[in-house]
Amino acid sequence: MTRPAHASAGEMMTVAAARALKDGDRCFVGIGKPSTAANLARRTHAPRLVLVYESGTIGAKPGRLPLSIGDGILAETADTVVSVPEIFNYWLQPGRIDVGFLGAAQLDRFGNINTTVIGDDYADPRVRLPGAGGAPEIAASCREVIVIVTHSRRTFVEKVDFVTSVGFGAGPGDRERHGLRGTGPRLVVTDLGVLAPDPETCELTLTHLHPGVTRDQARAATGWELRIATDLTTTEPPSETELSVLRALEEA
Amino acid sequence: MTRPAHASAGEMMTVAAARALKDGDRCFVGIGKPSTAANLARRTHAPRLVLVYESGTIGAKPGRLPLSIGDGILAETADTVVSVPEIFNYWLQPGRIDVGFLGAAQLDRFGNINTTVIGDDYADPRVRLPGAGGAPEIAASCREVIVIVTHSRRTFVEKVDFVTSVGFGAGPGDRERHGLRGTGPRLVVTDLGVLAPDPETCELTLTHLHPGVTRDQARAATGWELRIATDLTTTEPPSETELSVLRALEEA
Amino acid sequence: MGEITTLSDAVARLVHDGDTIALEGFTHLIPVAAGHEIIRQGRRDLTLVRMTPDIVYDQLIGAGCARKLIFSWAGNPGVGSLHRFRDAAQHGWPAPLEIEEHSHAGMANRYAAGAAGLPFAVLRGYTGTDLPAQTATIKPITCPFTGEVLTAVPALNPDVAIVHAQRADRDGNVQIWGITGVHKEVVLASRTSLVTVEEIVDELEPRPGAIVLPGWTVDYVAHVPGGARPSYAMGYYDRDNVFYQAWDDISRDRDAFQAWLRSEVLS
Amino acid sequence: MGEITTLSDAVARLVHDGDTIALEGFTHLIPVAAGHEIIRQGRRDLTLVRMTPDIVYDQLIGAGCARKLIFSWAGNPGVGSLHRFRDAAQHGWPAPLEIEEHSHAGMANRYAAGAAGLPFAVLRGYTGTDLPAQTATIKPITCPFTGEVLTAVPALNPDVAIVHAQRADRDGNVQIWGITGVHKEVVLASRTSLVTVEEIVDELEPRPGAIVLPGWTVDYVAHVPGGARPSYAMGYYDRDNVFYQAWDDISRDRDAFQAWLRSEVLS
């Protein structure tokens, strides 16, 4: 029934992220792939997924994919709409959200994220990126974080130029030391596979390769010596249902 | 035209308080005489008076006197209704309110107010009063305060048993020392007359006697040696309009 | 999460001896029926939290449920004193009552800090008053930017929040309009929560001025029409001002109070 | 107080060279027309404050109005980078741009503290990131009750707040619905304010989800239909996503940008 050949790398990535969401989870959603993945999950295995957008829309049930985190359709379909100070203070900060989605311009082996500047000098950056947005507090306060990011040496770096959002800092115990109450990145979903932190060392470890991707491809796209799980698994390709729902979503 | 004989001491008191409100003022209103006075002012000389109640109703225009600060009619007629944290944090605290009304169980010559306990021992009070409510912050943050209180030695005391809300503290400069941003009590309206702080000493000084009241009566009802203004004036008795509007309000 | 059950079941599951509980409602939507259920279930040693302890707390205190009261204004609004509260505070009857006393601004901020997952809140308040000398939960705090000294109060995170609301849907989403007070804050600040409602409906039709608490923020919803009487529920019934006045006489005397309690709550 | 005037008059009265101004709107109701009026009036050395500087700030920066940017996310939402912002930040064109960088939570709390008349706000934020090392307006603060260390940020109190809204009445009372963002906070935090609106009506009919800013909290109201385009005004028009995409090309090149500015804003 499954026709993996039909799925692009981007589609595989979105489907893998969607599967990581459990029914009933409260999910803090950014625009782009996170929003697509969350809406896909809500239409497949997780109909009671609660979508929370930083624009203040709680329990949004958009009939089509929003193009921004503040689209009107989010407000129109939400259980309630609150102010931006309230969404951060009363909803994100106390740990009411189960899963936060983040992207990254750079990511290191401990899941620390840079979305601020590329280059060594903050005052004179090589590339000025958009900055933090909601990410530092999403990374701090959600029960767990899922990172969605394209796999390349430009992104998967030995050391991020700027820590915008903390993953596991310098390793085990660092989140506790910083008083961060969520458990940090649970998964990093890429176009090549899936990484998860080693329970002992917190180092991101390749646990899944998407169909047709090799270990060497993943190693070559990673800017540090990539650890590979002993039980490395091939990701289940997107099902017919997942693909058709995803495509319908993206066309709507 | 005026028929002072018709006005009770309580009516005189309410009318005197109402007159102290200027059109366009934002007024933080407590229940009882303050609410009556503010509603009287809105129906006579101050049609654009903005009534703010601590229940979160801003710009309420009740058609009859509310019996509590949270009556439905306040919400139904308000320009906007906000939460209780918001009314204190965004509206009272920053100094957006021009006039705050306060009552008192005890009041001293510097306009300090007790509504907490009667007796020397807080832990074992002679009389346990309701407590602070919104008063400490109303006294601190409104541009100015009007106190409405019945004149008696039980109330007008040499020293309050407990400072629930600060008037002028121990005298000139004390409000600044405490960082209180409003200017403190402007008027104390009683059933006998009106007191105002001396501009030099901050001591409450009798500036008006209501019609038919003598200096001796005021002195006898005051628990400290009452200072009397050199230009002591007799309060203008309630006009026919003031009385009829007030009575209509109280009967509605 | 938003489970619909009976009032007695919800109170039995949530409220235990020694708990810190907050029944909120700022004049409007006071959960009086839930207070009576706590009295009937005979809870003891409760720490009662409420900005404006009015007659429902007077009843809980008089019935001997309370060990401590955290509050900012304890009176019968528009009528006068709370006689059961005064009897407990002044004479220790039926049990001594410890008090922790704040202002409204302080209490509202304590709930807001609790809802926000912060250990404390900052406000301009209390300065120059005698409250900080009596209340350990009022402390100075210095602005790290300007050096200005302000006031800090600790978060309130009760074991149980109980509020009344107009409506819930079958998923336990709760809709509240009119004066919303600290309803949202106390529910979000507390470890568990119960909302009693006038109506359970298939769908919450949007209304001007309404807030919604998603079902996943509420533990139990109980259908208790009239559950806020003698306070009011906008759109359902008005405040019973006559009862507030009558309470002055009922509560003034220990025997009269106990007779009332037996006939109106316990029987 | 709630005075109804023209856009050009209001901007001329309120916005002066060197001022700190905040044009807010979280995706929704961004006061783009007011931004263009500021460009036309040739203001210089502005400190621009905004959580999500998007194309209207890209335009103000490219037009040389800005000296400094205080922000939390500077991008073209759903499209990519802000090229005029990057050109100023990386190459100082047309003028050097000082930046003060926060997170959304920090900025939202800075406005909230400003609205509340407090010098600072407390949040759980920034800890472990490199932001505190670069941004002087992020400092640790210790809870006086638990000893826990949290983060403090100073209040934002701009000279001028500018927002767009759906409606105002003739007394200048402003009604806003849909995503309300930080509209209330920025207006209450700022020394002066201007609200541009789609419609001026005789009476503000209550609407679900709407907030109202009383006319006395607003200095000027200007009737500017379409004043939020290419962002959107719920109930009036949708977001012009095509223009957001087109902006990427227009803004990438200095000459193309200047040609656009001349033909679309200055003429």
Residue A233 has a pLDDT of 97
Identify the band that residue B5 occupies on the pLDDT scale cut at 50, 70 and 90: low
Domain A9-251 has CATH 3.30.360.10: no
- Domain ranges for chain C: 3-102+157-266, 105-154
Q: What is the pLDDT of residues C84-98, one digit of tens each?
A: 999 999 999 999 999
Q: Would you call D144 and C145 a contact, using CB atoms and an 8 Å cutoff? A: no
Residues C214, A89: C-beta atoms closer than 8 Å: no
Q: Which residues contact A170 (CB under 8 A, 6 or more apart)?
A: A110
Task: Round to whole Å and give the CA distance between D44 and C260.
Answer: 74
B54 is catalytic: yes
**Closest approach of B81 to chain D, Cα-based (Å):** 9
Q: With 60 as the cut, is the pLDDT of residue B4 above it?
A: no
Q: Which of B82, B84, B86, B250 to mutate to test the interface with C (most CBs of C within 10 A)?
A: B84
Interface of C with D in 218-257 (CB under 8 A): none
Which pLDDT score, from 0 to 100, does residue D257 have? Answer: 98
Chosen from C145, C167, C176 to mutate, greatest number of chain D CBs within 10 A: C145
D18 CA to chain A: closest CA distance, Å?
A: 22
Angle between helices C254-261 and C83-91 (to 10 degrees): 120
Q: What number is the average pLDDT over the span A103-129? A: 96
> CA C155 to CA A50: how far, in whole Å?
27
Smallest Cα distance from B49 to chain D, Å: 11
* Closest chain D residue to the Cα of A128, Cα to Cα: D86
Residue B1: predicted pLDDT: 41
Look up residue B158 and give its two tokens. Answer: 């040499």
Q: Do B58 and D173 touch (CB under 8 A)?
A: no
Query: Which of B27, B83, B90, B91 has the most D C-beta neighbours within 10 Å, making it the best mutation to test the interface with D?
Result: B90
Across the interface, which of A26, A58, A93 has its CB nearest the CB of C116? A93
Confidence class for position A6, pLDDT limits 50, 70, 90: confident
CB of C140 less than 8 A from some CB of D: yes
According to the model, what pLDDT value does residue C240 have?
Answer: 95
Going by pLDDT thresholds of 50, 70 and 90, the confidence category of residue A30 is confident
Chain centre to alpha carbon of residue A98: 13
Report the chain C residue with the minimal C-alpha distance to residue B160.
Answer: C130
Per residue in C222-253, pLDDT (tens digit) is 999 999 999 999 999 999 999 999 999 999 99
Distance between A60 CA and the closest CA of chain C, angstroms: 12
**Alpha-carbon span D57 to D25, nearest angstrom:** 12
| Contact list, A50 vs chain C (CB under 8 Å) | 214, 216
pLDDT score of A1 more than 60: no
Subunit contact A88:D105, Cβ cutoff 8 A: yes
Instruction: Answer whether residue C262 shows pLDDT above 60.
Output: yes
The pLDDT tens digits for B173-218 are 999 999 999 999 999 999 999 999 999 999 999 999 999 999 999 9
Q: Do the beta carbons of residue C66 and residue C95 sit within 8 Å?
A: yes
Confidence of residue A4 (pLDDT cuts 50, 70, 90): very low
**Confidence at residue B9, expressed as pLDDT on a 0 to 100 scale:** 94
Could you give the CA distance from residue B220 to residue B209 in angstroms, rounded to a whole number?
A: 14
Q: Do D111 and A54 touch (CB under 8 A)?
A: no
Three-state secondary structure call for residue A93? coil
| Count of pairs with CB atoms under 8 A, one residue in B, one in C | 168
Q: Is D68 helix (H, G, I), strand (E, B) or coil?
A: strand
State the helix-helix crossing angle for C254-261 and C55-62, rounded to 10 degrees: 100
Task: Name the residue type at position D125.
Answer: G
| Whole-number average pLDDT of chain B | 95
Q: Could you tell me if the ipTM is greater than 0.85?
A: yes
- Closest-CA residue of D relative to B24 is D216
* Contact criterion met (CB < 8 Å) for C105 and B92: yes
Provide the shortest C-alpha distance from residue C166 to chain A (in Å). 16
CA–CA gap between residue D249 and residue D262 (Å, rounded)? 16
Contact across the interface for A70 and D74, Cβ inside 8 Å: no
Q: How confident is the model at residue A5 (pLDDT cuts 50, 70, 90)?
A: low
A-chain residues within 8 Å CB-CB of D234? 72, 75-76
B234 to chain C nearest CA, in Å?
31
Interface of D with C in 148-167 (CB under 8 A): 148, 150, 152, 154
Residue of B nearest to D213 (CA): B80
Q: What does DSSP say about strands B99-102 and B26-29: parallel, antiparallel, or unpaired?
A: parallel
Of D122, D124, D207, the CB nearest to C208: D207
C107, C71 Cβ separation under 8 angstroms: yes
**Residue-wise DSSP of C14-74:** H--TT-EEEE--SSBS--HHHHHHHHHTT--SEEEEESS--HHHHHHHHTT-EEEEEES--
* CB–CB contact C72 B71 (8 Å): no
- The minimal CB distance from A178 to the residues D28, D104, D128 is found for D128
B3 pLDDT tier (thresholds 50, 70, 90)? very low
Of A31, A84, A93, which has the smallest distance from its Cβ to D123's Cβ? A93
Among B54, B137, B203, B242, the active-site one is B54
At B105-132, the pLDDT tens digits run 999 999 999 999 999 999 999 999 999 9
CB contact under 8 A, C105 and B88: yes
**Interface contact A128-D28, CB threshold 8 A:** no
Q: Which chain A residue shows the shortest CA-CA distance from C172? A: A79
The pLDDT tens digits of the residues spanning B154-177 come to: 999 999 999 999 999 999 999 999
Q: What are the residue ranges in chain D where pLDDT is below 50? A: none
Query: CB of C137 within 8 Å of any CB in chain D?
Result: yes
Question: Would the CB atoms of A67 and D239 count as touching at under 8 Å?
Answer: yes
Contact D29, D228 (CB under 8 A): yes
Through-space distance between the first and last CA atoms of chain D, rounded to whole angstroms: 32
Q: Determine the pLDDT at residue A3.
A: 47
Chain C residues with a Cβ under 8 Å from any Cβ in chain A: 115-118, 173, 184-185, 188, 211-214, 216-217
First vs last Cα of chain C: how many Å apart? 32
Cβ A94–C116 below 8 Å, yes or no? yes
- Subunits with 3+ Cβ pairs within 8 Å of C are A, B, D
Q: Which of B207, B209, B211 has its CA nearest to residue B198? A: B207
Residue B220 has a CB neighbour count (10 Å cut-off) of: 13
| Distance from chain centroid for Cα D244 | 17
Q: Which of B81, B88, B174 has the CB atom closest to C209's CB atom?
A: B81
Active site residues of A: 54
Q: How many CB pairs under 8 A join B and D?
A: 31
Please state the domain extents for chain B. 9-251
Residue D211: closest C-alpha in chain B: B80
Which residues 6+ apart lie within 8 Å of D85 measured at CB?
A128, D53, D57, D58, D61, D69, D74, D97
* CA closest to A136 among chain D residues: D126
Chain A positions in Cβ-Cβ contact with residue C168 (cut-off 8 Å)? none
Interface contact D206, partner C, CB < 8 A: yes
- Report the gap between the CA of D27 and the closest CA in chain B (Å): 24
- The answer regarding whether domain D3-102+157-266 maps to CATH 3.40.1080.10 reads yes
Find chains touching chain A: ≥3 CB pairs under 8 Å: C, D
Q: What is the pLDDT of residue B252?
A: 79
